[in-house]
Chain A
């Protein structure tokens, strides 16, 4: 395996059947995570699964009430990091040439977004933080995560009726500052960052100079960095020093191939946000 890359893919069907897939099955993936209100997305293609496994992994994308859990971990050697946790939206297999491919399209929290529905009266004495908690409680297969600055403890002078799609109502009451990452709903302002150790992105890890794109710096790593997490602080130490400093990891795209039969890149593209004000560190 190139650079001793490794992965583990876990799938659990609505019937409770658990599947675990590891090398030497070849795997190509694109994982896109960000602190935005759109749900995180991943596509994974497996090559030449055993027929029984292949047949077991099928999901119609319109069957939104079926929950297929998927957890994808990648890393080097035995050190694996979870880079995606969510649910399968669509999965199917096909043969092309001599190879069988199994294509999996998955989203982080889309099952909760599609199936969460709330119909509740929130009294005037209930804080916004508690109201957010009650909305999240109505979203299946998802848990409350970091509730930052937007989820203050202020209370409204009047009670409120919350009725409709839980996700849409959550975005409404938080001003569009909720996002789902790794099966957790976080509510954070743009200048909020999750309190933790700082991830150092030094020059050895960077493939090319950082690109300044709109409000973000785009950094592509020379090797995949599965340990980086969105919403946390990342320190950039590039040889091109102009942009060096601490940023909030706004998004990360992991893409690559892990295969014993074919070589290929495995990189991470990281979006870094400088912030308009000093970051407010928040935690669970």
Chain B
């Protein structure tokens, strides 16, 4: 009597095996780290951060994902250009079908192959941080930081915002004004000399608005 006859697999075991196989080979979302950026094609190479576990308990790294388009916040031709670089973390999504034809032609087309949820069809959304390296955020301000990082930012002005100028703000201007007033006084012209200035910003960019 062979082992199959002694211990016939029951339906539950078979279904559990099938389920385990589907989940172990199905790609949905992963966390990745960018290892190379190709800005001209807006693609990145990604190293997945969570290793693959084998049935025998060993673990191995996934192969590097290549030619992965990355997400850019954009619309109507406007976009935010971020200096994505090696070492940035990203969310990696795996498309339901092969993206080769869309990516290379931008046309509605049949998938180039029958692969589904494949590691080869990864898309990256950059902007994810582990607990060990959170961004500096106090949750009070809307801040857009450049590559110089926290502390380099300044408050943004808008049309209608009040402006004020005193000696402390613009010493050169107020010193010149005092000198001009002294000349006028020497000529016998007596005029009141302002020591501060207030007003409003009357114009700004017609392309960008901040609420």
Binding site for B on A (CB under 8 A): 62, 119-121, 123-124, 156-164, 172-173, 175
Q: A158-B67, A160-B120 are in contact. Are A173 and B103 (CB under 8 A)?
A: no
Q: What chain B residues lie within 8 Å of A157 (beta carbons)?
A: 100-101, 103-104
Q: Contact between A161 and B66 (Cβ–Cβ < 8 Å)?
A: yes
Q: A62-B3, A172-B115 are in contact. Are A163 and B100 (CB under 8 A)?
A: no
Q: How far is the CB of A216 from chain B (nearest CB, A)?
A: 26
Q: How many residues of B contact A (CB 8 A)?
A: 22
Q: What chain A residues lie within 8 Å of B118 (beta carbons)?
A: 161
Q: What chain B residues lie within 8 Å of A62 (beta carbons)?
A: 3
Q: Contact between B25 and A172 (Cβ–Cβ < 8 Å)?
A: no
Q: What chain B residues lie within 8 Å of A164 (beta carbons)?
A: 25
B139 within 8 A of A: no
Kindly report which residue of chain B lies nearest to residue A62, judged by CB atoms: B3
Among B25, B62, B64, B100, the residue within 8 A (CB) of A156 is B100
Kindly report which residue of chain A lies nearest to residue B101, judged by CB atoms: A157
Q: Contact between A121 and B63 (Cβ–Cβ < 8 Å)?
A: yes
Q: How far is the CB of A239 from chain B (nearest CB, A)?
A: 46
Q: How far is the CB of B103 from chain A (nearest CB, A)?
A: 6
B180 within 8 A of A: no
Q: Report the Cα distance A156→B67, complex, angstroms.
A: 11
Kindly report which residue of chain A lies nearest to residue B104, judged by CB atoms: A157
B124 within 8 A of A: no
Contact digits for B39-64, partner A, Cβ 8 Å, 1 yes 0 no: 00000000000001000000010111
Contact digits for B84-125, partner A, Cβ 8 Å, 1 yes 0 no: 000000000000000111011000000011110011100000
Q: How far is the CB of A133 from chain B (nearest CB, A)?
A: 17
Kindly report which residue of chain B lies nearest to residue A160, judged by CB atoms: B120
Residue from B3, B114, B120 with most neighbouring chain A CB atoms (10 Å): B120
Q: Contact between A161 and B63 (Cβ–Cβ < 8 Å)?
A: yes
Q: A121-B64, A123-B66, A173-B113 are in contact. Are A158 and B100 (CB under 8 A)?
A: yes
B65 within 8 A of A: yes
Q: Contact between A124 and B62 (Cβ–Cβ < 8 Å)?
A: no
Q: A156-B112, A172-B114 are in contact. Are A161 and B67 (CB under 8 A)?
A: no
Q: Contact between A124 and B63 (Cβ–Cβ < 8 Å)?
A: no
Q: How far is the CB of A134 from chain B (nearest CB, A)?
A: 12
List 8 interface pairs A-B (beta carbons < 8 Å), by A numbering.
Answer: A120-B63, A123-B66, A156-B100, A156-B112, A161-B65, A161-B119, A163-B62, A172-B115
Q: What chain B residues lie within 8 Å of A175 (beta carbons)?
A: 114
Kindly report which residue of chain A lies nearest to residue B112, judged by CB atoms: A156
What 6 pairs between A and B have smallest CB-CB spacing?
A159-B66, A157-B104, A161-B119, A158-B67, A121-B63, A160-B120
Q: Contact between B119 and A163 (Cβ–Cβ < 8 Å)?
A: yes
Q: What chain B residues lie within 8 Å of A158 (beta carbons)?
A: 66-67, 99-100, 103-104, 120
Q: What chain A residues lie within 8 Å of B52 (beta carbons)?
A: 163
Q: How far is the CB of B102 from chain A (nearest CB, A)?
A: 10
Q: How far is the CB of B36 from chain A (nearest CB, A)?
A: 12
Q: What chain A residues lie within 8 Å of B113 (beta carbons)?
A: 172-173
Q: Add 10 more A-B contacts to A160-B120, A161-B65, A163-B119 (CB < 8 A).
A: A119-B60, A119-B62, A120-B63, A121-B64, A123-B66, A124-B66, A157-B101, A158-B103, A161-B64, A173-B113
Q: What chain A residues lie within 8 Å of B64 (beta carbons)?
A: 121, 161
Q: How far is the CB of B3 from chain A (nearest CB, A)?
A: 7
Kindly report which residue of chain B lies nearest to residue A123, judged by CB atoms: B66
Q: Report the Cα distance A163→B101, complex, angstroms.
A: 21
Q: How far is the CB of A148 from chain B (nearest CB, A)?
A: 18
Q: Report the Cα distance A62→B4, complex, angstroms.
A: 11
Q: Report the Cα distance A161→B101, complex, angstroms.
A: 17
List residues 16-42 of chain B with CB under 8 A from any CB of chain A: 25
